[in-house]
Amino acid sequence: MNKTKRFALGLVFVIGLVILLSTVWVTAAPPVPASYYGTLLVNGANPPLPATVEALIGGVVYATANGQVSGPSVVYAIDVPADWPETPGTKEGGVVGDLVQFRVLGIICSQSTSWSSGLNALNLTATGTLPTASPTPTATLTPAVTSTPVTKDLKTTNTTIRDTDINSWNKTDVQPTARRNRLYVRQDIYNALSWFDIESQVPQGATVQSATLHMYLSYYEHQMTQSPVVSVYQVKQPWNDLQATWMDRLTGVAWFGEGCSGALDRALTPSASAVVTAVSTWYHWDITPLVQTWASNPSQNMGMALISDNSRELRFFSADDADPRYQPYLSVTYTTGVAAPTVTPQFSPTPTKTPSVTGVPELFEQQGAIHDTFISGWVVDKNYDGASQRLAVRGNGTMRTLIKFDLTGIPEGARIDSASLRLTTFEYDDGKTHLTLDIGAYLVNKQWLENQATWNVAMTGVPWYAAGCSAVPGDRDGSPASTTPVRLVSAPTGPGVSYTWDVTSIAQAWVDDLSEQAGLMMMSNDASEREVRFIHTEDPRTDRWPLLRIYWVAPLPTVTPTATSSPTPTMTATPSGGTVAGVVFNDNIGGLANGVRDPGEGGIAGALVQLWQGTSFIDEQTTIGAGTFSFSEVPAGSYTIVMTPPSGYLLSPGTLDRRTISVVLGQTTEVLFGLYDPLVVTPLQPLVFPLIRK
């Protein structure tokens, strides 16, 4: 071959290589989308979930997303793609100047905007008629033979795993290629991101019986005496392991909060946690509910974030490590053949329920108290009204908070079905945030005024029966209506950390005699000097004020028999069925979850409880403040009751999310489900099972 031909062939090869690399580069670096986020309102209120948001350009839908709850609001985040300049004649998204319209639950929003790449804040409001639900057959599930449980270890040999870490020391740098064999985790410095291709290995709709994440900690000595808690959080936004940094999840697309910290970036409550001690060993996280979510809806799989609460630097082996013996893997056990009973079709009508009590509960909600202050045993004659907008509670009963609400709107004598009090913590670190403080809610029986109350007096010239509102029953009840463990507090920026108390018995005492109601007191008798502060009603952040929710039923009218009325014979009704009733309780006394309902453990609102007979759906309820549920007039037979915890709660040790029960004619079958908050409660079972090496 002569030199001319060799040169020509070489030139053709080079040109082809350039074209190939250009194609790969285009694929790896798509145009930056326009990311919009904000709150959702439909007809002036939070929309029902799932609330589908659509982004349209020229009447064509280019992106969809679902709204999600964040504090008192429903929020959304949606990426509207950019049009690719490399494909003329085909429109994949927007260009500068394109008008973007938004549609929520099929209703066009009043807001529109010009397409602009990057992060854009936009609150959406829509007004119109919501879609009418088409009658859906009663969850007719095709009976199938339950398969034998299948266990798979998802590894690099059978699925795709993408992982990286992001760091605040080099906020705009992706993980260096030279150390992609490790995932660094360190509080406020390194967060790790991991994604497994679940869809290729677990059939969609399978029932996940267990799912455990396994990661191997390398031999690296750094502050070895410390024992960090590493938690796994569900990530809600798409990211790329070759593009993600502390600032951006994709090239040019920022996280809503740096380091994947925003409420729209990830769940703020961990799916699982593990305590790290020794090096050169495996650590394990039980993320069964999270993997079930992904198996039921693969589009929600955006992976997970590993975040530490300690400055000790940890280095886990990554999926890019050359030695497969130490690469992370996900062990999943699942069954197929029985449809999962927890998916509710969009816009499907709520099943008709037979009321178990007279009257329909009405909701009374009051955000902000008419009186709130705290009293201190350290300065017994000082009134702390409005003291930096905080309400203080300290161990050993040293500081106590008083709160009173205006109950106008609830008739005296009403029956209280449930009542809950939510307090949001103040940005205060007393150096003891590693300690849990059990705080109880006590009924107060003596009137007081917030601008006059001190440790010694309820109001000017009127002392407490015993200093500190301590006399029982003159000043207050001797036992709390409920107790909640408090550990984490709010940060100066970002969402506040809130806690809830079941105050049903207190609210009932209030409405039994409204003229005498004197509010409640928050107090801790823990032998600890931990101090927790809550947001005061005078704080400018109104969404963090004390919040009282009461579900009440109007009192029945009193019927006075007339002199001529004939005695009505007592009718003994023949029962047509039995009752299934129970409580989803907060397993938290002493900061430990033991799977048993101990005295003082209140209920949990927001748990979905469903009743099934075989593969036939019967009924469902969502628990309110007292955590109670009840199904009446249930025909005798065998049933399955299934409970789905609200976000942020895990099943207590020994607690199953479904039970097989027998309903007997005329009798009540009671069922208890225990849940705990892993941020403040420790389960009575080991979280870590390191290998013991000899």
pLDDT tens-digit profile of 257-314?
Answer: 899 998 888 988 889 998 888 888 889 999 999 999 898 888 889 999 999 998 899 9
pTM above 0.85, yes or no: no
| CATH class belonging to 34-126 | mainly beta
655 vs 678: CA distance, rounded Å: 15
- The tokens describing 602, both together, are 């209140």
Q: What is the pLDDT of residue 405?
A: 95
Three-state SS sequence of 360-401: CCEEEEEECCCEEEEEECCCCCCCCCCHHHEEEEEHHHCEEE
CATH T-level topology, domain 362-553? Jelly Rolls (2.60.120)
Helix, strand and coil percent figures for the chain, each rounded to 5:
10, 40, 50
pLDDT, tens digit, 9 for 90 and up, residues 11-61: 545 455 544 444 443 334 557 888 888 889 999 888 888 788 999 998 888
Q: What are phi and psi of 637, to 5 degrees?
A: 155, -170
Average pLDDT, the chain: 83
Q: Does 362-553 match 150-335 at the fold level?
A: yes
Nearest to 684 by CA among 657, 663, 655: 655
How does strand 608-613 pair with strand 73-80? unpaired
Domain boundaries, the chain: 34-126, 150-335, 362-553, 578-683
| CATH class belonging to 578-683 | mainly beta
pLDDT, tens digit, 9 for 90 and up, residues 464-494: 999 999 998 889 999 999 998 898 898 887 7
- The tokens describing 234, both together, are 């569900």
CATH T-level topology, domain 150-335? Jelly Rolls (2.60.120)
pLDDT, tens digit, 9 for 90 and up, residues 126-174: 998 887 654 544 444 445 455 688 889 999 999 999 999 999 999 999 9
584 vs 592: CA distance, rounded Å: 16
